[in-house]
């Protein structure tokens, strides 16, 4: 099968509005959490989130077109343009029938569902719905818009698997290229769930941290006092190409995708398998797919949401897969900085893996204050500060409600 590489990336996150600033935020241990500004959250149990900051949509999108998009699509368009520019891909002079888009979002047009539908339903008299209501809210509209902008006429669809969505999108794009069904793919994910319903819904599930007195340190993966995740928003995009296609045009190759895995817990709609069975299986499958041994992996960017059950289950899975080699790994959760971007999490965390390879440094798990005796103290969870080390191969894990698990393995290009 054909080799597959990444040649461009774009990021819009709570700790940086482009890939360069995102990378700096990661390695500097920056927290993106703060009081919610999108709406009055004073009556909510959780009153903070990881929001995007200082974003001027008019700098990126035509005002008329932007009004016809939900924020999750706006974010997608912004990061795809950055990724395309970064890749240097002359999309007018490639085979557009072999260029496609696969995009992930766990929810899609959450703000549109919440605002436009509710307003129309509550309006007195005859119901009046926005003619763009349906195109704004459906999850597959983002890859549709992206393909229209760049003229990509190949494979095009959306992946929806909750928090595993964008890792699934990258995995699918990788497969289509190595199977010789495409040469170039735009892939990634976006989410815009910092809304009343987003905060209220996740809070009612007791999934969110309620550390309102100290939101900057609320996301505490692996810490004894972790009390839930912090909701984030944003997007990440990568340009994925067949190796010879990239070399022929003199592309700057950022990393190689060498393996993927996909499994289901088949256990519970929201809780992970207590022994991390699905997580264990997905990492094993990805290693086998990549043709790598456990000794070949240097860093695992874990799902690590800062929930009591999830962090523990994933650590058990890592020990089950890597055995004593687990102690030679660096492990970190960048959600401690970005919060949980739901369907966009896998995309920005894959980019974090690329940053680790390029900078030969591991982003930290910030906000660690108290050791939890439930975790093996010999695991290197990269607490509080970035660590320099040789990074050749990276695993990125994402797991979603419904028991969906997806893993991608990135490697330094040689």
Q: How far is CA 8 from CA 151, 186, 309, in A?
A: 18, 9, 35
Catalytic residue list:
163, 303, 340
Long-range contacts of 369-373 (CB under 8 A, 24+ apart): 369/217, 369/220, 369/223, 369/225, 370/223, 370/224, 370/225, 371/224, 372/222, 372/223, 372/224, 372/226, 373/224
Helix, strand, coil percent values for the chain (each to nearest 5): 40, 20, 40
DSSP alpha helices (H): ranges in 211-344?
A: 243-248, 277-290, 308-322, 335-338
Q: Contact at 8 Å (CB) between 84 and 137?
A: no
Q: How far is CA 329 from CA 294, 319, 382, 394, in A?
A: 10, 11, 10, 10
What gap in Å lies between CA 362 and CA 390, rounded to an integer?
A: 9
Q: Contact at 8 Å (CB) between 237 and 83?
A: yes
Q: Contact at 8 Å (CB) between 334 and 345?
A: no
Q: Contact at 8 Å (CB) between 61 and 74?
A: yes
Q: How far is CA 384 from CA 146, 348, 362, in A?
A: 37, 20, 11
Burial track 29-54 (b if 16+ CB lie within 10 A, e otherwise): bbbbbbebebeebeebebbbbbbbee
Q: Which residues in 169-285 belong to E strands, given as ranges? A: 184-191, 234-242, 255-264
Dihedral sign for Cα 182, 3, 171, 28, please: negative
What gap in Å lies between CA 200 and CA 355, rounded to an integer?
A: 34
Integer distance in angstroms from the first to the last C-alpha of the chain? Answer: 17
Other Cβ atoms less than 10 A from the Cβ of 131: the count is 9
């Amino acid at each position: 099968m054909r080799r597959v590489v990444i040649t461009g990336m774009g990021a819009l996150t709570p700790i940086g509005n482009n890939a360069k600033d995102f990378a700096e935020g990661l390695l500097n241990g920056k927290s993106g959490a703060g009081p919610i500004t999108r709406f009055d959250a004073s009556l909510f149990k959780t009153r903070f989130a990881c929001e995007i900051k200082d974003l001027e949509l008019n700098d990126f999108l035509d005002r008329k077109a932007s009004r016809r998009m939900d924020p999750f699509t706006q974010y997608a368009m912004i990061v795809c343009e950055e990724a395309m520019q970064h890749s240097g891909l002359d999309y007018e002079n490639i085979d557009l029938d072999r260029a496609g888009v696969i995009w992930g979002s766990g929810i899609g047009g959450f703000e549109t569902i919440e605002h436009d539908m509710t307003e129309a339903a509550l309006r007195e008299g005859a119901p009046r719905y926005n003619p763009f209501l349906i195109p704004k809210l459906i999850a597959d509209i983002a890859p549709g818009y992206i393909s229209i902008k760049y003229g990509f006429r190949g494979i095009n669809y959306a992946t929806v698997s909750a928090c595993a969505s964008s890792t699934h999108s990258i995995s699918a794009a990788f497969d289509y290229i190595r199977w010789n069904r495409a040469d170039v793919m735009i892939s990634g994910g976006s989410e815009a769930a910092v809304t009343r319903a987003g905060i209220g819904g996740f809070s009612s599930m007791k999934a969110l941290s309620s550390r309102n007195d100290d939101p900057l340190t609320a996301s505490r993966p692996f810490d004894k006092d972790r009390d839930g995740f912090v909701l984030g928003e944003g997007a990440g995009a990568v340009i994925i190409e067949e190796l010879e296609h990239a070399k022929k045009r003199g592309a700057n190759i950022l990393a190689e995708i060498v393996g993927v895995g996909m499994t289901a817990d088949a256990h519970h709609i929201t809780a992970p398998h207590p022994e991390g069975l699905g997580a264990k299986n997905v990492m094993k499958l990805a290693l086998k797919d990549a043709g790598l041994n456990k000794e070949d992996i240097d860093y695992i960017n874990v799902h690590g949401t800062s929930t009591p059950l999830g962090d523990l289950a994933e650590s058990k899975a890592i020990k089950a897969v890597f055995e004593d080699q687990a102690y030679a790994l660096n492990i970190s959760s960048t959600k401690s900085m970005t919060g949980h971007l739901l369907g966009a999490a896998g995309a920005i965390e894959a980019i974090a893996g690329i940053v680790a390879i390029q900078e030969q440094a591991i982003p930290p798990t910030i906000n660690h204050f108290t050791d939890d005796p439930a975790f093996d103290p010999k695991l290197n969870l990269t607490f509080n500060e970035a660590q320099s080390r040789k990074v050749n191969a990276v695993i990125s894990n994402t797991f979603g409600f419904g028991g969906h698990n997806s893993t991608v393995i990135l490697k330094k290009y040689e």
